[in-house]
Amino acid sequence: MDETPQRLVAKPSWLITQLAVHARRLVNDGFTAAGARGYHYRILAALHEFGPTSQARLGRRCRVDRSDIVAAVNELAEAGFVDRAPDPEHGRRNRVTLTPNGLHQLRHMDTLLDQAQDALLSPLSTNDRQTLIHLLTRVLAHHEPQ
């Protein structure tokens, strides 16, 4: 394989971008094996942690575009992982709820995601992994909109 220019490999932005490619592939491969997508995981995780909510709020919370949240919720509803019904408090809004099958799928996806994390971070010790997570969290929080 050809060498990469030093001025690139010395830049954290380049390293993060290259690592993101590997992370995305590992996660997508795991989720694809389960017949799922990253959006599905985000939605199921948010419903489990925060409870039933509107599609619009779910999209904002999961950082999924409006048109994509509709498609993803449709897929999850067809699979029996979520229920979608009119919100009794607001007739024009849909309320999305996690089903028992959805919780089972979320737990399965948790296992797949943990395996992907282990594969991605295999060269790091537990302490190094915790340090990396801490540093990435700080940098991301700095750039998040307030």
The answer as to whether 108 is a domain residue is yes
8 A C-beta contact, residue 68 and residue 3: no
What distance in Å separates the CA atoms of residue 9 and residue 108, rounded to the nearest whole number? 36
Residue 104 has pLDDT above 90, yes or no: yes
* Residue with the larger pLDDT of the pair 10 and 102: 102
Q: What is the CATH number of the domain that holds 82?
A: 1.10.10.10
What distance in Å separates the CA atoms of residue 54 and residue 46, rounded to the nearest whole number? 12
Residue 76 belongs to domain spanning: 48-112
The answer as to whether 1 is a domain residue is no
- Confirm whether pTM is higher than 0.75: yes
The answer as to whether 98 is a domain residue is yes
8 A C-beta contact, residue 30 and residue 127: no
pLDDT confidence of 101, banded at 50, 70, 90? very high
Residue 88 has pLDDT above 90, yes or no: no
The answer as to whether 55 is a domain residue is yes
